[in-house]
Chain A
Amino acid sequence: MRMSSKTVRRFMQDDIWNIGRNESWFSGMAEKGFHLRSIGRTFALFEKGEPTKTNYRIDVMNTAPGPEQLELYEEFGWKLVCHIKELYIFSSPENSACPELHTDPAEQSFTLETVDRKLKYQVIWISFLMMIFLGMMAALFLLNQTPTLSLMEVTGLQIPILLFVELYVSYSVIRNYVSLRRLKRTLSEGRPMNHKESWRLPRLINGTISVFFILTAFLTIYLPVAEIIQRENYSLPEKFSNLPVIRLIEIEKRPDLKRQTGPFSGGVDFLNSVITGWSPMAPVQYEINEH
């Protein structure tokens, strides 16, 4: 008989290199009946089952483990669940009291050296790109003769929003590197990793920050679309209109002046037209052409 299984995805809110906290989170999920099956950069996949007390260990291996290594791990009670790049995740029932995978913290710190170097280059690169990006943004803003006006328009507003998103990307890369460095230092000082680290509050904080920035990133796509949807284009009536603007005809009061009509497109006189616009900073905008 084939058993049906239910899987759920959970957002990887925490830094992947906060190893102890992620292990503790997987155990917390298993206690609620969600057992880890696979893991990606953004989501972790859990399978619904019976609640169990399970220990998880994330081992960093710079080369893929061979069959003998995995057999030995199993002999010690640690079964491979899944892996992502150099992170191999093993599980063991909590009551099995199996020996620890790592018995020498100082030695374990050496397993983080390659990834430490890799993340360090990432941080250098992202900081360098961030500086270039900041420079570009500053130039765009400072060379603009009407910077405040440009902020009223969607295209101008996208610059600070993009900057905000870029800042978040840099922040998350640096935060992840700091987590790894902290772990490496703890281990190299001979202190074992805390596999039961509290995960609820940090996940909530990091998750809230992530969601906020994902929504902000979404804004850069949403704003131009919303602007196009809100845009209206129609011919300007010759005399009376209920537009909240003062027209030249009302100031000059020159009956001898005649209106020049221009090319028409979709019934709109292009030389005498009203275009309504929208942006978050100026929700009501009018662009009026009158000849």
Chain B
Amino acid sequence: MPHDGHDHDDHSELSPIALRVRALESLLVEKGYVDPAALDVLIDTYETKIGPRNGAKVVARAWTDPAYAKWLKEDATAAIESLGYTGRQGEHMVALFNTPEIHNMVVCTLCSCYPWPVLGLPPVWYKSPPYRSRAVIDPRGVLAEFGVTLPETTKVSVWDSTAEIRYLVIPMRPANTEGLSEDELAGLVNRDSMIGTRLAGKVA
């Protein structure tokens, strides 16, 4: 440690990786490769504007509008774009509809492909070796860790995103939600249900 703890300069609490990233940022800005204001916009976009609320709106629309659900099945990229969600890491979308017979679940075993425009940035567990290694060989064991136990009569269908096709799971609409508005329904769509590791509903 360079300091004995008495006179902190503003680097003293940063980890080696945080210091390295800070030095790199200064360098890239100084060399003119990066506009620091663009960095702030990029970060703000994924921290506050693009996230799983987008996907939840797609799901709620599919639950309430059969014509939209049909469009989503046939051309998910266009149907999702019609709600304003498009672009990076969501260029070619496919929607997977869960039913009592089939439960879909998405993984990227080779890296961490994820539909950013509808779900935002992936959570740590989705990118982690335990999920990437086990989702394909032990999907029911993984589901159990999320508290989900499916009947044996429901087939688990795992999708390994190996190319630039991105998958959005449309979970089943929870029971007793007939009177709810589209917005209220969107509130029931948790992020993990759109990856396929949970069912729709509030997460405890």
Instruction: Determine if chain A interacts with chain B.
Output: no
Instruction: Spell out A's residues near B (CB within 8 Å).
Output: none
